[in-house]
């Protein structure tokens, strides 16, 4: 068996945390390939190294003195190096960074240096080979990830390595310019490495023991999720569950490689297993609840809408013309409602409304703001009768008015729309009926 292990910023924020990571890796010889993030916060009011790099580069772009800020970043790494008692000198690397900052190498380059430097430290600490991600992870000229080229080059590279450290978060464009994934992209790198190395398990180590059924900021001590499918995770991640970058699923999903979310500070916990499919039934009817605030709905009415061919396309064209993507489009016989992110829509609302009138000629249009969408997800829901009814009952009992309900064709997710002010109350009510009382 072989494993890829990815460690988040909180797991690598200090020498003390590095030592925990070292113990975890050395405890299992199967943990052959390591993907580190940049150092995160050491305490609540601390600053992540990536944010320090962004701020430092911003000064460089403005042609202001950034020597103090770069020295502060170097001090963070030196603190880790000294705490690990390593004989490692990063002077050459920081000289190159300073030179490239002055040459305005780009914010992607600046942000990537956190992982790059941490990868060097990690490789030195473990005695593993260091592989610069810019040499093995590729983007095309348009900035899109080039999966085929990456997998070909990286597979060949890792085939000749017993153990290696591959920094997360970045790769390179065809001309060699550094390009990063979106924030949290080290999760994606771990998945890419897992696919290329054809490992058996991708372990993603963070500061929580896996996924929870609901947000702990809303529910006190929510139950954990033992096993979740890729599809369920996609639904929850999209709706705000942020333990794992949602794009990290795709490379390993293609290869059937399971992901195990683990806690660096509680390494004996089993965490959450993310799998393609499973015969294991979840403990509860639902797997998880997640949601987001800040939506608005545009309700379009027109008599005989259902018999007008192309009506839905015409309505959505008005959103497309204004660069606005939709979230959900529930409909009735004479009504169609489009849910969109309020912050995207509010500045273009009149252009969109005018476009709908021009293209679809509706009888009326009404806009409602300050709405929240909540996803109730579970692979067991399709085999359980009355799930939607139990949700309605719980929300009615909590005096929450449902503005929209939409069930996916897969029958493993139900989306509920409520007022922003009812968001927390709604999640508590749904959690209570499915997990606590199980009525």
- Per-residue CA distances from 415 to 274, 318, 348, 426 (Å): 22, 24, 25, 12
Residue 83 predicted with pLDDT over 70: yes
CA nearest neighbour of 413 among 436, 438, 435, 391 = 391
CA separation for the pair 38, 12 (Å, rounded): 7
Residue 410 predicted with pLDDT over 70: no
Residue 146 predicted with pLDDT over 80: yes
Q: What is the pLDDT of residue 361?
A: 95
Q: What is the pLDDT of residue 280?
A: 77
CA separation for the pair 339, 372 (Å, rounded): 10
Residue 183 predicted with pLDDT over 90: no
CA separation for the pair 337, 67 (Å, rounded): 54
pLDDT digits (tens, 9 = 90+) for 349-392: 999 999 999 999 999 999 999 999 999 998 877 767 788 888 98
Q: What is the pLDDT of residue 243?
A: 74
Report, as an integer, the average pLDDT of 193-203.
Answer: 96
Asked whether 278 and 229 are in contact (CB, 8 A), the reply is yes
Residue 240 predicted with pLDDT over 80: no
Report, as an integer, the average pLDDT of 201-223.
Answer: 92
pLDDT digits (tens, 9 = 90+) for 19-28: 999 999 999 9
CA angle 343, 290, 39 (to 5 degrees): 80
Domain regions of the chain by residue span: 3-207, 288-436
Residue 242 predicted with pLDDT over 80: no
- For 326-338, give one letter per residue: b (16+ CB within 10 A) or e: bbbbbbeeebbbb
**Percent of the chain, pLDDT > 90?**
78
Report, as an integer, the average pLDDT of 284-291.
Answer: 91
Q: What is the pLDDT of residue 439?
A: 59
Under the banding of pLDDT at 50, 70 and 90, the label for residue 231 is: confident
Residue 124 predicted with pLDDT over 90: yes
Q: What is the pLDDT of residue 409?
A: 64
Asked whether 185 and 206 are in contact (CB, 8 A), the reply is no
Fold of 288-436: VC0802-like (3.30.2130)
Q: What is the pLDDT of residue 143?
A: 94
CA separation for the pair 352, 362 (Å, rounded): 13
CA nearest neighbour of 289 among 428, 406, 171 = 428
Residue 282 predicted with pLDDT over 90: no
The H or E element that residue 53 is part of is helix 49-61
Under the banding of pLDDT at 50, 70 and 90, the label for residue 36 is: very high
91: which residues sit within 8 A by CB, 6+ positions away?
none
Residue 128 predicted with pLDDT over 90: yes
CA nearest neighbour of 387 among 377, 397, 402 = 377
CA nearest neighbour of 375 among 321, 308, 323, 328 = 328
pTM of the model: 0.85
Domain 3-207 belongs to what architecture?
3-Layer(aba) Sandwich (3.40)
Residue 45 predicted with pLDDT over 70: yes
pLDDT digits (tens, 9 = 90+) for 152-173: 999 999 998 999 999 999 999 9
More confident residue, 210 or 52: 52
Q: What is the pLDDT of residue 349?
A: 94
Q: What is the pLDDT of residue 248?
A: 82
CA nearest neighbour of 416 among 332, 298, 290, 299 = 290
């Amino acid at each position: 068996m072989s494993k890829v292990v990815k460690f988040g910023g909180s797991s690598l924020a200090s020498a003390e945390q590095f030592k925990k990571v070292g113990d975890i890796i050395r405890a299992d010889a199967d943990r052959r390939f390591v993907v580190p993030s940049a150092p995160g916060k050491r305490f609540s009011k601390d600053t992540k190294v990536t944010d320090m790099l962004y701020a430092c580069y911003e000064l460089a772009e403005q042609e202001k003195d950034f020597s103090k800020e770069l020295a502060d970043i170097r001090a963070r790494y030196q603190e880790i190096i000294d705490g690990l008692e390593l004989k490692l000198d990063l002077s050459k690397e920081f000289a190159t960074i300073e030179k490239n900052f002055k040459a305005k190498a780009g914010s992607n380059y600046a942000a990537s240096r956190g992982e790059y430097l941490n990868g060097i430290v990690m490789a030195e600490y473990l005695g593993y080979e260091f592989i610069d991600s810019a040499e093995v992870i590729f983007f095309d000229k348009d900035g899109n990830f080039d999966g085929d080229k990456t997998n070909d080059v990286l597979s060949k590279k890792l085939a000749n390595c017993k153990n290696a450290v591959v920094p997360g978060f970045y790769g390179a464009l065809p001309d060699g310019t550094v390009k990063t994934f979106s924030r949290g992209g080290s999760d994606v790198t771990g998945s890419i490495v897992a696919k290329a190395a054809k490992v058996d398990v991708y372990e993603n180590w963070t500061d929580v023991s896996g996924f929870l059924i609901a947000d702990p900021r809303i529910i006190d001590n929510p139950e954990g999720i033992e096993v979740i499918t890729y599809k369920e995770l996609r639904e929850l991640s999209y709706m705000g569950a942020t333990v794992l970058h949602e794009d990290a699923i795709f490379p390993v999903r293609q290869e059937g490689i399971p992901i195990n979310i683990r806690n660096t500070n509680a390494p004996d916990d089993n965490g959450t297993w993310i799998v393609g499919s499973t015969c294991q039934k979840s403990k509860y009817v639902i797997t998880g609840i997640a949601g987001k605030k800040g939506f608005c709905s545009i309700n379009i009415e027109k008599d005989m809408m259902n018999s007008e061919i192309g009506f839905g396309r015409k309505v959505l064209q008005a959103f497309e013309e204004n660069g606005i993507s939709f979230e959900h489009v529930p409909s009735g016989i004479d009504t169609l409602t489009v849910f969109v992110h309020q912050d995207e829509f509010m500045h273009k609302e009149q252009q969109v409304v005018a476009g709908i009138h021009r293209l679809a000629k509706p009888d009326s249009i009404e806009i409602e703001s300050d709405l929240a969408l909540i996803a109730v997800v579970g692979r067991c829901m399709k085999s359980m009768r009355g799930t939607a009814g139990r949700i309605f009952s719980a929300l009615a009992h909590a005096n929450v008015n449902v503005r929209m309900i939409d069930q996916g064709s897969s029958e493993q997710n139900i989306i509920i729309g409520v007022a922003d002010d009812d968001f927390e109350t709604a999640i508590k009510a749904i959690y209570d009926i499915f997990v606590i009382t199980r009525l």
